[in-house]
Structure 1
Amino acid sequence: MPLTRVIEQTVPVTFRYAVHFTHGLFAPHNPVFRDALAGTAGEPVKVLCVLDAGVLQAFPSLESQIGAYFARHAGALRLVAPPLVVPGGERVKQEGGHVQRVQDAIHAHGIDRHSYVVVVGGGAVIDMVGFAAGTAHRGVRLVRVPTTVLAQNDSGVGVKNSVNAYGKKNWLGTFAPPHAVLNDLDFLAALGDRDWRGGLAEAVKVALLKDAAFFAWLEEHAPALVARDLSAMEHAVYRCAELHLAHIAGSGDPFEMGSSRPLDFGHWAAHKLESLTNYALRHGEAVAVGLALDCTYAALKGMLSESDWRRVLDLLLGLRLPVYVPELGTSAQDPADPKSVLSGLNEFREHLGGRLTIPLLTAIGQATEVHEMDFGLLRRSVGILQNLHEKRGTPWLSIQAPAC
């Protein structure tokens, strides 16, 4: 007998899920929710519903609407208990106990792998409930009902679920594709201006990476988007979600087994800034600052033209998104200091699994990847953004690539 024997196996797995765009999801006559969950065995499927408290505050009748919807479609759906309400915002990913509450409810109501957990809320609540569902019975069916721009166009349509730990964003998590995503665009009308605009940072991000024509559309429609034109926002959400889904399905690495994560453009600094501000800075706002930083760095490096750099900064500012926050300037000194934004590069490297890989623009709609960044140029980039922030409304500062 040989000293070593090996059996190798390849297990192909295909995931398929739909992202629906609708209005009035829980209106009794709307079949989208029922059809996305209804089984074929003739018995109503069991459903546990988790609600974001912030959404419930904005839509006080939502619980009764959900109850009425299930009553109308009792032959297909069974709500096992009144909706479980959890806090909204990043605190739900920070505070202990919320994952356990959801898992306790899954256990108490016998939610198995042929039942559903439905989560209605913003991206943080969807992340937390997705993590709870993804770790119960090794994964129960999750249906996401995102209620913010950022969740509908980005975080809610992907395959990741997570909570924060050890002072780091998304340190605990799973890759677990949802059973379905149901985007009710009516929820967006209740958003405050910060959340309405903040989610557009992800649209800018994916346009910069994937679609120059979409970037130009965002430039043209920035005034309408800021003025809360719902039809313009609906297009922005749809196209952004479409581009994210195309990348997830077609990149060859949907579960991030490698170290390349193009859709995390601008996120190494964004995640660190969120932590440094104790999450007072919303994710979309942090991404906007991260995009401004990385694009300024690429311009200083000579990778991105000054004209394209100006277009990026003009669009971010035109959408009323931040390009600088004090934590960026006051902490951009020692990369070994955990209170420095530059330490986010090492944390991002760990998050990737070893090798640092940062997407940088070479033109609008085109990007490349680098595996190291010059701290001196990063500090210069911070200085340019700080100067722009302090002198906003004055003529543009000239940006020059360093001499070779």
Structure 2
Amino acid sequence: MNTILEQTFSVPFRYPVCFTEDLFDPKNTILADVLRGERVPKVLFVIDSGVADTHPHLIKQIKAYSESFQVVFTLAAEPIIVLGGEACKNDEVFYQQIVEATHLFGIDRHSYIAVIGGGAVLDMVGFAAAISHRGIRLIRIPTTVLSQNDSAVGVKNSINAFGKKNYLGTFTPPNAVLNDFNFLKTLNDRDWRAGISEAIKVALIKDLSFFEWLEANGEALANRDMAPMKEHIIRSAKMHMDHISGKDPFEFGSSRPLDFGHWAAHKLEKLSDFRIRHGEAVAIGIALDSTYSFLNGKISQEDLNRIINLIKILGFELYASELQGDNLIKGLKEFQEHLGGQLTITLLEKLGKGIEVHEMDEELIRQSVDLLQSFQEKSSLITS
């Protein structure tokens, strides 16, 4: 005789995604309001080394802020500085440093870890927080365009392992995401540009009007105009949030339309030994899959030219030598393994609308790579 008991319950998740300036000015209460409660929690700050170097007064500002709100929260310890960039996800010593800190400083499930930095550091620290005590409250304070308009607003945390990107990770929502636009002012041109590729991605698969807005404001964005940068970040973040809340936030299925352009991007990052940054690889991945969509008869020549032109206006490369050969093709299998189930790739049905396919023609992929090389070397688009 079999006895089967079925357990069913649901847990709602809610967290604010805030956009502000001067986050650590005592006149700005957003952070204090997030931390305010019946208890006075301890907060452990973890800071990206690149951010700490660029903002030498940041730790002093954090300490002054905590003094102003000592009835709301206390600092658990001196802020921890960790290596920034993808390197922090490649070596387990970095996430273990955060886990050890939760032990040494008594960071419990009623405490907070507040991480300040780019997407890689947010990923790594979020992973460490998620596995410590089965989940320590996390506040993300993203400092790059890519992390503010995309990665920080989601529910994923990860590190790299076995030579594969994001192999170890969790789906754990943050308690809050606090975006301070002032951090963007100190980005170099490369990092300023890189994150815009994620906005192109979500616009191409979901919203033609947003793509048209990016076209109209491409030169202003490339020239570091802050007003359109703020607007694009908020619009992109909102579209990513709407997608996450609307269907499959923990990715139980094989469908991941928000990974348009990413199967090649993830492989390209690794093949280049991360010389090509994530946002730059995504731009090339978008160009590749858009070109494939054209060669496969899904979008028109005019549509492809518009996409390539926007990517070029923003200053992205369209081609990298690592795209040649069989290594890129192997990325399809790795992408399928990462998702589980059948291969599911998002292509373009038209501008503003994605379509899912379950197989890709290797010869068309190679032809797409050759076209991208032509676009890059000849600085010209397809003509009739």
TM-score category by the smaller chain?
over 0.9
Partners of 1:130 and 1:313 in 2: CA distance: 35
Corresponding residue for residue 22 of structure 1: 20
Equivalent positions of 1:74-223 (< 5 A) are: 74-223=70-219
Q: Distance in 2 between matches of 1:4 and 1:154?
A: 47
Q: Which residue of 2 aligns with 1:337?
A: none
State the match for 2:382 in structure 1. 397
Alignment of 1:225-244 (within 5 A): 225-244=221-240
**Matching residue of 1:266:** 261
TM-score, length of structure 2 as denominator length: 0.99
Q: How far off is 1:354 after superposition?
A: 2.3
SS at match of 1:386: helix
User: Which amino acid counterpart does residue 307 of structure 1 have in structure 2?
Assistant: E
Q: Distance in 2 between matches of 1:271 and 1:391?
A: 26
- The 3-state SS of whatever aligns with 1:359 is strand
Alpha-carbon distance between aligned partners in 1 of 2:143 and 2:237, rounded to the nearest angstrom: 14
Please point out which of 67, 72, 88 is paired with 1:71. Answer: 67
Aligned partner of 2:321 in structure 1 is 326
Structure 1 residues not aligned, in runs of 5+: 335-339, 400-404
CA distance in structure 2 between the partners assigned to 1:322 and 1:96 by the alignment: 32
Q: Which residue of 1 is the match for residue 274 of structure 2?
A: 279
Matches of 1:323 and 1:18, distance apart in 2? 36
User: Can you list the C-alpha shifts for 1:288-322, whole angstroms capped at 9, x where unaligned?
Assistant: 00000001001000011111111111110111112
SS of residue in 1 equivalent to 2:81: strand
Q: CA deviation at 1:326?
A: 1.1
| Corresponding residue for residue 302 of structure 2 | 307
Measured in 2, the distance between the counterparts of 1:10 and 1:343 equals: 39
Aligned to 2:34: 36
Structure 1 stretches of 4+ moved >3 Å: none
1:9 CA drift (Å): 1.5
Residue number in structure 2 paired with 1:254? 249
Question: Matched residues in 1 for 2:383 and 2:287: separation?
Answer: 15
Which residue of structure 1 aligns with residue 363 of structure 2? 376
1:52 aligns with 2:37: no
One-letter code aligned to 1:125: V
Query: Displacement, 1:10?
Result: 1.2
Code of the aligned partner of 2:128: A
Paired amino acid for 1:323? L
1:350 corresponds to 2:337: yes
SS at match of 1:50: strand
Q: Aligned partner of 2:349: which letter?
A: T
Q: Deviations over 1:122-167 (max 9, x none)?
A: 0000000000000011111000000000000111110000000111
TM (norm. structure 1) is 0.94
CA distance in 2, matches of 1:29, 1:78: 18
